[in-house]
Homo-oligomer: A and B are copies of this chain.
């Protein structure tokens, strides 16, 4: 039974975990991972791509398992010295992580695309599936808060720990999807949307010209990023009431993606109120690699057995 050709849309931590299982279940040849770059930002002159790094480190088995971000084996000597110099230190730059930012930034300055440098970095770390940044241009998300106006995404998420109440998410429409992303979507037989924040991780991908209609032309499985109304990580549970005016729950995820979805995968007990889309209830807590592989295989089984 040959593996279907899958394009996987991913944000950071949650998405990265399922990427691992999909890679194991499918093999690298049948998987292309499109990663959100809406939270990329410049910091101390470095181009930082948090979601690309998280997915890359996770697939390289180098990610810190508990923290979710950054590397498992990491030191923070440079950061301590930056603090001594009074430089901004709100973003936790690890020493080895710094090398990723330095190598990427240098390549971009030399005219390489983000797609090309990502390809080079993931190869160097032995990551086999293609990692495709959604765009080679800047697509900065901005968060409109109730109290502090519009703030850059990372400042909101990291510096303010996502605690400033959100009034709206402003996606950027300035840069296009890459040709590689559009070609991958054409190539795909199945689209899987990871258990990532719909507003700030998946919508930025879907909003790029040419993406949504290509996704919509294929079977789409989304994995809910909520378990019993709580986000696996991040501020999603607080965002849904503010942005969708309803309680945080898998039904809100189903309503958000709407007609795009063929299947929503939810935690058992979270099926209530999910209308107009098939539901697969199974454990979506996939911190362990075995759980990620099991979830990936259940999704592929559904695809193969669907009517």
- Select one of B44, B109, B125 contacting A102, CB under 8 A: B44
**Are B85 and A124 in contact, CB atoms less than 8 angstroms apart?**
yes
A175 within 8 Å of B by Cβ?
no
Contact partners of A74 in chain B: CB under 8 A: 77
CB interface residues, A 68-101, toward B, < 8 Å: 74-75, 77-82, 84-87, 95-96, 98-100
- Select one of B45, B95, B109, B121 contacting A78, CB under 8 A: B95
Q: Tell me if A's interface is mostly helix, strand, loop or mixed.
A: helix
**Are B106 and A78 in contact, CB atoms less than 8 angstroms apart?**
no
**Are B120 and A102 in contact, CB atoms less than 8 angstroms apart?**
no
Contact partners of A197 in chain B: CB under 8 A: none
Alpha-carbon distance between A149 and B218 when the two chains are bound, in angstroms: 60
Q: How far is the CB of A265 from chain B (nearest CB, A)?
A: 35
**Are B121 and A99 in contact, CB atoms less than 8 angstroms apart?**
no
**Are B78 and A96 in contact, CB atoms less than 8 angstroms apart?**
yes
A105 within 8 Å of B by Cβ?
yes
Q: Decide: A95 near B75, CB < 8 A? Known: A100-B81, A102-B44, A102-B82.
A: yes
Interface size class of A (residues with CB under 8 A): 20 to 34
Contact partners of A95 in chain B: CB under 8 A: 75, 77-78, 81, 95, 98
A146 within 8 Å of B by Cβ?
no
Q: Decide: A99 near B86, CB < 8 A? Known: A44-B106, A77-B77.
A: no
Contact partners of A106 in chain B: CB under 8 A: 44-45, 87
**Are A82 and B105 in contact, CB atoms less than 8 angstroms apart?**
no
**Are B75 and A87 in contact, CB atoms less than 8 angstroms apart?**
no
A103 within 8 Å of B by Cβ?
yes
Q: Which of A81, A109, A121 has the most CB of B within 10 A?
A: A81
Instruction: List the B residue with the shortest CB-CB distance to A105.
Output: B45
- Select one of B77, B86, B99 contacting A75, CB under 8 A: B77
**Are B125 and A99 in contact, CB atoms less than 8 angstroms apart?**
no
Q: How far is the CB of A158 from chain B (nearest CB, A)?
A: 18
Q: How far is the CB of A203 from chain B (nearest CB, A)?
A: 31
Q: How far is the CB of A124 from chain B (nearest CB, A)?
A: 5
**Are B105 and A87 in contact, CB atoms less than 8 angstroms apart?**
no
**Are B77 and A121 in contact, CB atoms less than 8 angstroms apart?**
no
Alpha-carbon distance between A103 and B109 when the two chains are bound, in angstroms: 19
Query: Which 9 residue pairs of A and B lie closest in terms of their CB atoms, listed nearest first?
Result: A81-B99, A77-B95, A85-B103, A95-B95, A81-B96, A78-B99, A82-B99, A87-B103, A78-B98
Give 21 CB contacts A-B under 8 Å. A44-B102, A44-B103, A44-B105, A45-B102, A46-B102, A74-B77, A75-B77, A75-B95, A77-B95, A77-B99, A78-B78, A78-B96, A78-B99, A79-B99, A80-B99, A81-B98, A82-B99, A82-B103, A86-B120, A95-B95, A95-B98
